[in-house]
Structure 1
């Protein structure tokens, strides 16, 4: 297993991972120019990393890790984990756990005092998974589509 920053040529495979579940299929589309523009924006932001996991030379998982500076909690730097996906052929083998633990380690190295993430309430298995890693459902999240 190897974790690395995503490359432009990974974008179609990452988009396929994002779309590979019931909720993702509703939100994602074909890997078009909009995804490439978003990829370039992530790459240009020093506080953002798009990560892929490779297993046996294949893209097996992805996540995005963002570092969020703020004034609250005495100026604590936070890490936000988003877009966690594991390829169907690699699910149930510990890859998701390894990805999250790796991201937590990266956050510690960067000096973050908190790691946060959100997961859709319609993904009960994901909610249990994050709780098994020590995350607590401490806040109620809200979204506003624009």
Structure 2
């Protein structure tokens, strides 16, 4: 496999990123890929770029092929003696390239960013239905240590 590199996503990467996020059993029901490029994604990306330490990173195969993405958010906090943590969300690898080590490289990259930024903890959430993802994260050393809860503020139509 060609070399994998990483960089922060740009606005021009968003169609590829949204395609990755939508390309699984959950994303296919939550994302809008029927339209050219919905404005809501551009607006969300612009809000993210204004918030320091909240970025989408892309995994690049070779010179320019986007094959993975993840959202990394650095969170300053008071608990754990003022520890900063890295929150990892929206981890996706192109379907045809899964199980080839790209996800592992992405997570190692995220963890190295956390370490170099002085974080004391890396955390993530993963949907209960994603059993393969759970096994993947456990192999990387993540522990199922908390119960996550969500309250949706959007009405289902």
| Structure 2 residues without counterparts, runs of 5 or longer | none
**How big is each residue's C-alpha offset from its partner over 1:68-106, in whole Å with a ceiling of 9 and x where there is no partner?**
011100000000000000001221110000000100000
Structure of higher CA gyration radius: 2
**How big is each residue's C-alpha offset from its partner over 1:98-132, in whole Å with a ceiling of 9 and x where there is no partner?**
00010000000000000000100101000000000
Alignment match, 1:114? 121
Q: Secondary structure at the residue paired with 1:62?
A: strand
Q: Does 1:48 align with 2:54?
A: yes
Q: Does 1:28 align with 2:31?
A: yes
Q: Does 1:10 align with 2:5?
A: no
Q: Secondary structure at the residue paired with 1:25?
A: helix
Q: For 1:71 and 1:61, locate their aligned partners in 2 and report how far apart those are by CA, in whole Å.
A: 32
For residue 45 of structure 1, report the CA deviation from its aligned partner: 1.3
Q: For 2:9 and 2:111, locate their aligned partners in 1 and report how far apart those are by CA, in whole Å.
A: 18
Aligned residues: 146
Alignment match, 2:86? 79
Runs in 1 of length 4+ with deviation above 6 angstroms? Answer: none
Question: Normalization by structure 1: what TM-score?
Answer: 0.98
| Structure 1 residues without counterparts, runs of 5 or longer | none
Q: Does 1:142 align with 2:149?
A: yes
For residue 41 of structure 1, report the CA deviation from its aligned partner: 1.1
- C-alpha RMSD of the superposition: 0.7
124-133 or 35-44, which deviates more: 35-44
Q: Secondary structure at the residue paired with 1:143?
A: coil
Question: Normalization by structure 2: what TM-score?
Answer: 0.91
For residue 44 of structure 1, report the CA deviation from its aligned partner: 1.4
